[in-house]
Amino acid sequence: MKSALSAAYPAARFRRFKKMPATRALVRENTLSVDDLIWPVFLCDGENVEQPVVSMPGVVRHSVDRVVEAAKQAYDLGIPAICLFPYTDPSLKTADCAEAWNPENLSNRATRAIKKAVPDLAIMTDVALDPYNINGHDGFVVDGEILNDETVEALVKQTLSQAEAGADIIGPSDMMDGRIRAMREALENEGHTNVMIMSYAAKYASGFYGPFRDAVGAAGALKGDKSTYQMDPANSNEALRLVARDLSEGADMVMVKPGMPYLDICRLVKDQFGAPTFAYQVSGEYAMLNAAGQNGWLDLDKVMMESLLAFKRAGCDGILTYFAPKAAKVLAKL
């Protein structure tokens, strides 16, 4: 960046343009809009069910009929996309994870129902085996090891079942090597040429995912951690190599996850590639801000909007956030 010419005080007074809301607005460099929001939602079986997720105040698991209502509300608020995460009944979890590509699984049923009711809302789905795996891992586990190539074959089946159900954006969150190429090839071969892939390219092995694992029921099942496939929080060059790899294999958009502790990575990725770049403000970030808000230690609306704007400043095109409807209401001054 060129260093801007600045006069010395008192010729330059940075307080001049801060003097009134109108001039502060004129010089504002970044803005948050409802167009920037993707809303992750949790699904559960049953009818007319909304189960609160204890560690995520205000977040519920919705049965399919209720998620359709939630999707309509999101669409009416102007939110462009919703992202589906199923809570899978423990009786459906197996070592071969076959429920992941069952055309009638919860995620696929919800996709079809939402598409029918609100066709213009973009639907993103999650590709990874953890909601279906008795081991709680994103890949197949054999003798304590996560198998890469066998997992990729399963992820391809899962991808195709989601595309057939009507998903607009496939979100592989598994971090296996080679999955983007395999998924893209399969989508092209099966005629799903306009289905997008948003790769969880720089996904870190993070403690901030705790509440999510409760929400999808993977916490109890998980043995060990995910450090053999998710990224080391100490690394940033590796994030750029992963993003380069995933774009070259056919990802349309890339994601950095978690969000707030990794804003430096968002900026590096945007500057290096200029590709559509998203951040996931994850469950632990949501829980943390809400907990402080509930205690009266922070003004929740204020820190919510500030944290979301920070992603725009860091170069993101959009944010996956559980705050999406709440933030959309603030933006619409409702």
Residues tagged active-site: 203, 257
DSSP letter string over 133-201?
BTT--SSEEETTEEEHHHHHHHHHHHHHHHHHHT-SEEEE-S--TTHHHHHHHHHHHTT-TT-EEEEEE
Q: Does the footprint of ligand PBG cover residue 128 (CB under 6 A)?
A: yes
283 part of the interface to ligand PBG, by CB under 6 A:
yes
**Which one among 213, 260, 275, 312 touches ligand PBG, defined by CB under 6 A?**
213
Sign of the C-alpha dihedral computed for residues 59, 64, 66 and 72 taken in this order: positive
Distances (CA, A) of 147 to 129, 132, 142, 190: 12, 16, 7, 25
Size of the site for ligand PBG (CB under 6 A): 11
Q: Is 214 in the site for ligand PBG (CB under 6 A)?
A: no
Distance (Å, whole) CA 78 – CA 76 = 5
Does the protein bind ligand PBG through residue 311 (CB under 6 A)? no
| Closer residue to ligand PBG (CB): 116 or 223 | 223
Which residues between 149 and 178 bind ligand PBG (CB under 6 A)?
173
Per CB under 6 A, 126 contacts ligand PBG: yes
Nearest distance from residue 271's CB to ligand PBG, in Å? 25
Q: Which two tokens stand for residue 138?
A: 């994103």
Alpha helices in 16-147 (DSSP H): 21-26, 64-77, 106-117
Bridge pairing between strands 37-43 and 140-142: unpaired
Member of 34, 100, 115, 130 binding ligand PBG (CB under 6 A): 130
CA distances in angstroms from 52 to 61, 122, 235, listed in the order given: 6, 25, 35
| Residue 135 sits in the site that holds ligand PBG (CB under 6 A) | no
The residue whose Cβ lies closest to ligand PBG is 212
Q: CB under 6 A: which stretch of 10-18, 69-77, 91-99, 125-133 binds ligand PBG? A: 125-133
Stretch that binds ligand PBG, among 12-20, 67-75, 151-159, 206-214 (CB under 6 A): 206-214
Largest CA distance in the chain: 72
Binding site for ligand PBG (CB under 6 A): 126, 128, 130, 138, 173, 209, 212-213, 226, 282-283
